C-alpha cells in the first residue's frame, strides 16, 4: 500500500479548462477551505491561468493556485500528476478515448481517482486492466461520481438503510429530470452508441472474471415499458451505467440483504413521448455505427459548448425509489437542481473532499461511490443542498 502522507497536493483537478471542469473548479473554490491543498491541471498553461483568474474572483486565495501542465499523450506528465496528489478528479472525456492513462497512473501510484463517466465500456475495461494494480497500491478508482451515478447509488444505499436487515429487498428507481447537455456529454453519448458491441464484449469478459457473493443473490429487475401510478407516468427501463453501479454496490455490501433486486426507469409523461424517445434513440444508434454519419452527428454540437447559466437555473432532477422488504413498503427520493452540471460539479467536488477529509471504510481497487464513501458522502451532499428524503413509510 502506497504511503501518501507526503504528497504535495490533496486534490488535483484535471480538465479544469473544460465546461464541467471549470464548474467543478468554481465549486471547489467556494467549498474546499484553507485545509485543502489543491491544484489545477490541463494541457494549456494559458487556459489554466485564465481559469485561475476567474477563480480568484470567487476566492482570492485561488490567485496562488498551482497550475500543472499534463497531457494524456505525455505519459511522464500524467505519472507526475498522479504522484503529486492524494486525489485526482478528472472531467476529461470521452473517457474511452482519453481516460485510461490517468487511471493507469493512479492505480500504479496509489492515488485515489474520481471521474463522472457514464460509459459502461470504459468502467468495465478499467476494471479488467487496472483493478488488481489499484488493490495492490491501495488506490481507490471511483467512476461515475456525477449525475451518473451518485443519485441512484447513494439513493438506494439511503433507502436500504431505512429497511429491515437480513430480508429480501426490491427497489425500483424512477428518474425524472429537466435540463440540457454540453458538447462533451453529447460526444460521449455518440461514442458509446457507436461502440455497443465492444461494450457488450467488455461486460461479458468482466462477468466471467469478477467474483460475486455465493451466499446472496443480486440481480436486475426484468421489465418492459409500462404505466406506473407511483412514478406518475410511463416508465422505460433505462439500461445506463447507473443500475450497473447500484448492483455492484449491492454485491459488495451485505446490508442489501440475502436477495436484492433493482429496476431502473426513466419516467415520461405519455406514451407518445416514450415512443418518440425509443424511435429517436434507435435512429441515433444506427447513424453512430458508420463513420460518415457519425461525423455528421458530431457536427451538431461542439465540444466545450454547454448550457447557459439561465438554462442551468431552470434545470432539476428527482429520483423516486419504491422499495419493498418483508411486508414493508417505503418510498424515498433524491432531488436537486441542474443535474448535468451544477449538481454534477457539486457531487464530484464533494466526493473528492470526502476522500481527503472524512473517515471512510478501508477499500481499494475499482469501487463504487456507495462502497467507498457511503453515508459520509450522503451527509456532505445533504449539507450542500441535495435532498435525500423519506416520502412514504419508514
Residues 6+ apart with CB under 8 A from 168: 257, 258, 259, 260, 261, 325, 326
Same fold, 9-146+344-377 and 150-339: no
Cell of 326: 418483508
Is residue 81 within 8 A of residue 14, CB to CB? The reply is yes
Whether the per-residue pLDDT at 180 is higher than 80: the answer is no
pLDDT (0 to 100) of residue 154: 98
pLDDT digits (tens, 9 = 90+) for 67-80: 999 999 999 999 99
Closest CA to 319 of 169, 152, 185: 152
Closest CA to 197 of 290, 76, 289: 289
What percentage of the chain reaches a pLDDT higher than 90?
75
Q: At what angle do helices 271-288 and 183-194 cross, to 10 degrees?
A: 70
Residues 6+ apart with CB under 8 A from 292: none
Is residue 323 within 8 A of residue 160, CB to CB? The reply is yes
Please state which CATH number belongs to domain 150-339: 3.30.360
Tell me the torsion sign for CA atoms 332, 337, 338, 340: negative
pLDDT digits (tens, 9 = 90+) for 139-148: 999 999 999 9
pLDDT (0 to 100) of residue 301: 66
Domain boundaries along the sequence of the chain = 9-146+344-377, 150-339
pLDDT digits (tens, 9 = 90+) for 81-137: 999 999 999 999 889 999 999 999 999 999 999 999 999 999 999 999 999 999 999
- Predicted TM-score (pTM) of the model is 0.93
Strand duo 316-325 + 85-90: pairing: unpaired
Strand duo 387-392 + 328-336: pairing: antiparallel
pLDDT (0 to 100) of residue 303: 63
Whether the per-residue pLDDT at 156 is higher than 70: the answer is yes
pLDDT digits (tens, 9 = 90+) for 340-390: 889 999 999 999 999 999 999 999 999 999 999 999 999 999 999 999 999
Cell of 282: 434507435
Q: Lowest mean pLDDT: which of 61-65, 189-193, 197-201, 213-217?
A: 189-193
Query: What is the residue whose three cell numbers read 431552470?
Result: 314
Is residue 325 within 8 A of residue 167, CB to CB? The reply is yes
Helix (H, G, I), strand (E, B) or coil at 331: strand
pLDDT band at residue 304 using 50, 70 and 90 as cut-offs: low
With residue 352 as reference, give the H or E element that holds it.
helix 342-357
Give the CB-side neighbour count of residue 317, counting CA atoms within 13 A: 29
Residues 6+ apart with CB under 8 A from 37: 8, 9, 10, 11
pLDDT (0 to 100) of residue 196: 81
Is residue 168 within 8 A of residue 31, CB to CB? The reply is no
pLDDT (0 to 100) of residue 313: 86
With residue 227 as reference, give the H or E element that holds it.
strand 226-228
DSSP secondary-structure letter at 110?
Answer: T
**First-residue to last-residue Cα distance in the chain:** 41
What is the rounded average pLDDT of the residues 174-188?
A: 74
pLDDT (0 to 100) of residue 101: 98
Please state which CATH number belongs to domain 9-146+344-377: 3.40.50.720
pLDDT digits (tens, 9 = 90+) for 247-273: 999 999 999 999 999 999 999 988 777
Closest CA to 86 of 360, 394, 390: 360
Residue 15 zone, left/alpha/beta (φ > 0; ψ -120 to 50; rest): left
φ/ψ (deg, to 5) at 223: -155, 170
Amino acid at each position: 500500500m502506497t504511503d501518501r502522507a507526503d504528497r504535495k497536493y490533496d486534490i488535483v483537478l484535471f480538465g479544469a479548462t473544460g465546461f464541467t471542469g471549470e464548474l467543478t473548479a468554481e465549486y471547489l473554490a467556494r467549498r474546499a477551505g484553507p485545509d485543502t491543498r489543491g491544484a489545477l491541471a490541463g494541457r494549456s498553461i494559458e487556459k489554466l491561468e485564465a481559469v485561475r483568474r476567474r477563480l480568484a474572483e470567487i476566492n482570492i486565495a485561488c490567485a496562488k493556485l498551482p497550475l500543472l501542465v499534463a497531457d494524456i499523450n505525455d505519459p511522464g506528465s500524467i505519472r507526475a500528476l498522479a504522484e503529486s496528489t492524494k486525489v485526482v478528479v478528472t472531467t476529461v472525456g470521452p473517457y474511452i478515448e482519453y481516460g485510461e492513462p490517468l487511471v493507469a497512473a493512479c492505480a500504479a501510484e496509489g492515488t485515489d481517482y474520481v471521474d463522472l463517466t457514464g460509459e459502461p465500456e470504459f468502467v468495465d475495461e478499467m476494471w479488467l486492466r487496472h483493478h488488481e494494480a489499484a488493490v495492490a497500491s491501495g488506490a481507490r478508482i471511483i467512476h461515475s461520481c456525477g449525475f451518473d451515478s451518485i443519485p441512484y447509488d447513494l439513493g438506494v444505499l439511503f433507502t436500504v438503510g431505512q429497511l429491515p436487515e437480513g430480508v429480501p429487498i426490491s427497489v425500483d428507481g424512477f428518474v425524472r429530470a429537466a435540463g440540457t447537455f454540453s458538447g462533451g456529454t453529447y460526444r460521449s453519448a455518440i461514442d458509446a452508441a457507436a461502440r455497443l458491441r465492444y461494450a457488450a464484449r467488455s461486460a461479458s469478459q468482466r462477468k466471467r472474471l469478477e467474483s460475486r457473493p455465493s451466499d446472496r443473490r443480486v440481480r436486475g429487475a426484468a421489465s418492459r415499458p409500462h404505466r406506473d401510478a407511483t412514478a406518475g407516468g410511463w416508465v422505460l427501463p433505462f439500461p445506463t451505467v447507473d443500475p450497473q453501479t447500484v448492483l455492484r454496490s449491492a454485491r459488495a455490501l451485505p446490508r442489501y440483504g440475502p436477495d436484492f433486486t433493482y429496476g431502473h426507469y426513466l419516467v415520461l409523461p405519455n406514451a407518445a413521448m416514450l415512443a418518440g424517445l425509443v424511435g429517436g434513440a434507435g435512429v441515433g444508434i444506427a447513424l453512430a455505427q458508420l463513420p460518415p454519419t457519425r461525423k455528421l452527428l458530431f457536427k451538431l454540437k461542439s465540444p466545450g459548448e454547454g448550457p447557459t447559466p439561465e438554462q442551468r437555473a431552470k434545470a432539476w432532477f428527482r429520483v423516486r425509489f419504491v422499495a419493498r422488504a418483508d411486508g414493508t413498503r417505503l418510498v424515498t427520493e433524491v432531488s436537486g437542481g441542474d443535474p448535468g452540471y451544477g449538481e454534477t460539479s457539486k457531487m464530484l467536488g464533494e466526493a473528492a473532499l470526502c476522500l481527503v477529509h472524512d473517515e471512510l471504510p478501508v477499500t481499494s481497487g475499482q469501487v463504487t461511490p456507495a462502497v467507498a464513501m457511503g453515508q459520509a458522502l450522503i451527509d456532505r451532499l445533504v449539507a450542500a443542498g441535495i435532498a435525500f428524503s423519506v416520502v412514504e413509510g419508514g
